[in-house]
Chains A and B, each alone.
Chain A
């Protein structure tokens, strides 16, 4: 610690001598203004997330559980701060981050160039893929050609990545968007819509629970996604910290182990009153 301090001191003196004073001030201001500093001072890490099985959900006691809840809790423990979760409606989650309602989104958010123009993303901490679930009335039709027709209705969660995928790949089909996961599932189970495209493992679990009502028209891994933390722009220190936290926990196998637990099956089914 002392050695680091000494080195840091030496480096700072060196910078002070070599660089103009203004640049040094700017650098210090940047470091002080980092959200990491705010979190440490406050003693609380505020995490924005949305309920999404099995990333984050409520258990029988009303507590949040899930893959990214584990991730955020370990992040908090490693930073030695408490974690406050701020459950947020999905289509308002980026504006809420920008408005400073929380420090970081750990919400299974896939990295897309469009989103990246507004927020910064860390390296991915999870890799999801999309799955397809179709109503039994689509049985016997060939994926994907027969699905790109005017009588077919797709559903997705508003603002989520599958919407763009569907619009691009199935331009002739109708696309209906809903605000939460529950509504999209029910539309397909009822047969009001025929196809759901959503992050795995939700389609797989639903098909398992409702045999004969819905089925998987394809087993291919569609549009493999990269989920990263999202944070406000202009904060290199925080980006660096989060990136390396992910790097360390990926290398240690911790991230993969947690991912396997939550996504591999449903050993946690008893925790939620389903």
Chain B
């Protein structure tokens, strides 16, 4: 996996040949694309699509950045909710009792054996139209004062679209919870029986065994797959554009249609997603390394 530290780092002829080949392929594709594609490239709209000047002359995020912010909000909330739900389900799946075990198994089985897109349509049109209005979020948000509105604005985005965001969050969270449940179940399963026996022989009660021994060990085991799942969630969040949640992908469609700058828009959107997910991957890699270091001590 990692390069051998003793091996001298050299830039050989093979490297040069590979880079030249890669550039050649890229150039060929570019040539083919400009040959086949009837398109006038024009990137001049881009700064305007990212940033606009507010009424006071200050800079504000415009459509694409707003969309990116919504994607980030959506992912964070969905991950928080999915973690809670997934943890509870994972604990239930690891339980020795039949009812909790079956409940978790049925949930996971149901969600994991359905395409996410189909689940989202079913959930959105049949369930979320019952659940979301019943929560009364809309009325609650309208009743807030300006200060409360500023706070929820930062957390949930524009109040008029809060319900919309919330149904996206619920969809994604319910979907990802099933996968997180499996990760948590595997994590709990990976704790050696001997550890639990040792804890029990010290006289700890079942819940104490879970809290003091199983959970910390399991948590360490599940961190890498959880991080991976989070990155998957960020990418999966693009699906909720189909139920018109105003995140990056949905906004990009609107920008592409309105400006007529289709390819530029989608290339920028791809770059934004890449930056977000790659940044997250680096962050998690760093966290993992730090955990390993504390492990050794």
Contact = CB atoms under 8 A, between A and B. Distances in A.
A87 B254 contact: yes
B244 A92 contact: yes
Contacts of B261: 274
A251 B238 CA distance: 45
Nearest to A98: B125
Contacts of B39: 186, 189-190
13 contacts: A53-B257, A57-B257, A57-B258, A60-B48, A62-B62, A87-B246, A89-B241, A95-B125, A101-B164, A180-B253, A182-B253, A190-B38, A274-B45
A152 interface: no
Interface string B138-168: 0000000000000000000000100010000
A100 interface: yes
Interface string A175-192: 000011111011001110
B104 interface: no
Interface in B245-265: 246, 250, 253-263
Interface residues of B, number: 37
Interface in B261-278: 261-263
B258 A190 contact: no
Q: Which 9 A-B pairs have the closest CB atoms?
A: A99-B129, A57-B258, A58-B258, A273-B45, A88-B244, A182-B262, A62-B63, A51-B254, A84-B160
A86 B257 contact: no
A89 B121 CA distance: 12
A99 B45 contact: no
A52 interface: yes
Contacts of B37: 190
A98 to B, nearest CB: 8
Interface string A75-96: 0000000001011110010011
Interface of B: 36-39, 44-45, 48-49, 52, 62-63, 66, 121, 124-125, 128-129, 133, 160, 164, 241-244, 246, 250, 253-263
A51 B246 CA distance: 13
Interface string A152-166: 000000000000000
A100 B63 contact: no
Contacts of B49: 273
Contacts of A189: 38-39
B253 A58 contact: no
B244 A89 contact: yes
Nearest to A54: B258
Given A58-B63, A95-B125, A101-B129, A213 B38 contact: yes
A9 B31 CA distance: 78
Contacts of A272: 258-259
A58 B133 CA distance: 28
A61 interface: yes
A89 B52 contact: no
A266 B81 CA distance: 47
Nearest to A46: B160
Contact of B62 (A61, A89, A181, A186): A61
Given A101-B129, A273-B49, A186 B262 contact: yes
B125 A191 contact: no
A180 B246 CA distance: 16
Contacts of A210: 38
B258 A53 contact: yes
A61 B52 contact: yes
Contacts of B62: 61-62
A22 B209 CA distance: 65
Contact of A99 (B124, B250, B255): B124
Contacts of B63: 58, 62
